[in-house]
């Protein structure tokens, strides 16, 4: 049975060794790179089932590397490791295409759990679970694609997360704080305006649907209203 291949891009050699050793003990095939430039080359040469990347690195940072990776592979899971804690940095990472964000210092067990969760979403055997249908709209969370009336739309990771939560709870109110916790792991009030911005874009995407409407429930959250 083929092992899941993880590309680990981390400029701290000690931390890289610790993570590599722990993940290999968990049964993963791990390939390491010391910076974004080297990581991008390794991804081009042999790909990966999942990418773990530091943000602040010499030669090419994690953000820039993932921008290039997303052009080659829109669906490969990406997990950022970083000491940065500002909301802006977290939002930037997700906007670029990260699937998860782990702040340093972290426990190896937490990292392994998150890796397995990300890989599970993209395995062929779980494809059916990742595809949700409501009315004339379908969402494929793994590939981050929304189909509305036959038109395919490529989503950002945050857009896909929001729709995944709404598609799983049709005709029910999903609280704004629930979405913020799932996206940013907190319900900081400063994130509310950002969330509204994503909802505005998703409402435009869904405006072509004859069966699905994204409603704003004032002061509470949002509801995916499905007719028929």
Provide CB contacts within 8 A for 132, sequence distance 6+. 138, 139, 141, 164, 167, 168
What are the pLDDT digits (tens) for 128-155? Answer: 556 899 999 999 887 778 999 889 998 8
**Residue 181: per-residue pLDDT:** 84
**Residue 135: per-residue pLDDT:** 94
Question: Any idea what the Cα angle at residue 169 is, between residues 165 and 175, rounded to 5°?
Answer: 65
Average pLDDT over every residue of 28-36: 97
Q: CATH number for the 127-226 domain, one of 1.20.120.1200, 1.10.10.10, 1.20.272.10, 3.30.1330.10?
A: 1.10.10.10
Q: Using CA atoms, how far apart are residues 133 and 146, in angstroms rounded to an integer?
A: 10
Global pTM value: 0.64
Contact 134, 115 (CB under 8 A): no
Average pLDDT, the chain: 88
Which letter, b or e, does each residue of 5-38 get, where b requires 16 or more Cβ atoms within 10 Å of its Cβ?
ebbbbbbeeeebeebbeebeebebebbbbbbbbb
Average pLDDT over every residue of 106-128: 76
The residue ranges of every structural domain in the chain are 5-122, 127-226
Average pLDDT over every residue of 197-207: 94
Average pLDDT over every residue of 121-129: 57
Average pLDDT over every residue of 58-77: 91
Paired tokens of 55: 């943000």
Average pLDDT over every residue of 67-96: 82
Q: With respect to CATH, is domain 5-122 assigned 3.10.20.600?
A: no
**Residue 186: per-residue pLDDT:** 75
When mean pLDDT is compared across 26-30, 73-77, 86-90, 185-189, the lowest value belongs to 86-90
């Amino acid at each position: 049975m083929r092992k899941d291949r993880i590309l680990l891009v981390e400029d701290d050699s000690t931390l890289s060794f610790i993570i590599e050793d722990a993940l290999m003990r968990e049964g993963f095939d791990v390939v390491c790179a010391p910076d974004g430039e080297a990581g991008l080359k390794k991804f081009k040469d042999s790909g990966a089932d999942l990418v773990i990347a530091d943000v602040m690195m010499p030669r090419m940072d994690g953000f820039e590397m993932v921008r290039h990776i997303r052009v080659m592979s829109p669906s490969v899971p990406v997990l950022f490791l970083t000491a940065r804690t500002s909301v802006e940095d977290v939002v930037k990472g997700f906007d670029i295409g990260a699937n998860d964000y782990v702040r340093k210092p972290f426990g190896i067990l937490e990292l392994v759990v998150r890796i397995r969760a990300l890989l599970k979403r993209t395995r062929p055997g779980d494809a059916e679970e990742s595809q949700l249908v409501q009315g004339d709209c379908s969402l494929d969370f793994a590939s981050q694609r929304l189909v509305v009336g036959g038109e395919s739309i490529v989503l950002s990771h945050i857009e896909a997360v929001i729709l995944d939560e709404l598609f799983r709870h049709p005709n029910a109110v999903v609280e704004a704080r629930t979405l913020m916790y799932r996206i940013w792991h907190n319900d900081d009030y400063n994130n509310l305006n950002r969330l509204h911005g994503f909802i505005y874009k998703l409402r435009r995407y869904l405006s072509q649907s004859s069966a699905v409407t994204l409603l704003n429930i004032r002061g509470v959250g949002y509801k995916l209203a499905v007719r028929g």
